[in-house]
Chain A
């Protein structure tokens, strides 16, 4: 069964450093999303992406964040200058055009900012 994959599974970085989180959505999916979950809290929406542009973004998704689909398979989330409060689990999700509302999640990247 097709799955969303994410790399790396864990990332430790120093405050102020740039990180890039990578995702490979399910191959025939057209809609892509990033969510984050701070430890012990609920999952929060960051951004959605369709047709090579951002469809919607939350207040969390400020100028420090950017997303890109650099090729036909990868979908990346970049955090330019990480802050301590960026430590969280970051989930990528994707959905197809027939059931756009049903999002399938990757296993997540656990980001720790020191």
Chain B
């Protein structure tokens, strides 16, 4: 069975500062992918970043980067130079060969002007 745990229900960050959202996961599969999705108040799910488990290099997308620690089964998201538009729920998700996403419970990020 696959599980995804987000232990921070809420986080806040000052505009222009950096924030890190935590995620741990568990799977017995060796081949899997990890994702961060953003859900703004409109409730649309927007893909932020993806990481292949077989790649040691951490993924980066502009201001968003991950810290993937495979042995620890940890997959945190770092948002640099936070902007007001980053305020949203952030979901960590895992997919294995079954090809359905397992989501965490989410972290609500508030950006303080």
Contacts and interface: CB of A to CB of B under 8 A. Distances in A.
Interface in B59-113: 91, 93, 95, 98-106
A48 B105 CA distance: 21
A55 B99 contact: yes
Contacts of B106: 42
B95 to A, nearest CB: 5
B44 A107 contact: yes
Nearest to B50: A102
B101 A103 contact: yes
A102 B49 CA distance: 10
B101 A108 contact: no
Interface of B: 33, 35, 37, 42-47, 50, 91, 93, 95, 98-106
23 contacts: A31-B99, A35-B101, A41-B105, A42-B91, A42-B103, A42-B104, A43-B93, A44-B103, A45-B100, A48-B99, A91-B45, A101-B33, A101-B95, A101-B99, A102-B33, A102-B35, A103-B47, A103-B95, A105-B37, A105-B45, A107-B42, A108-B44, A110-B43
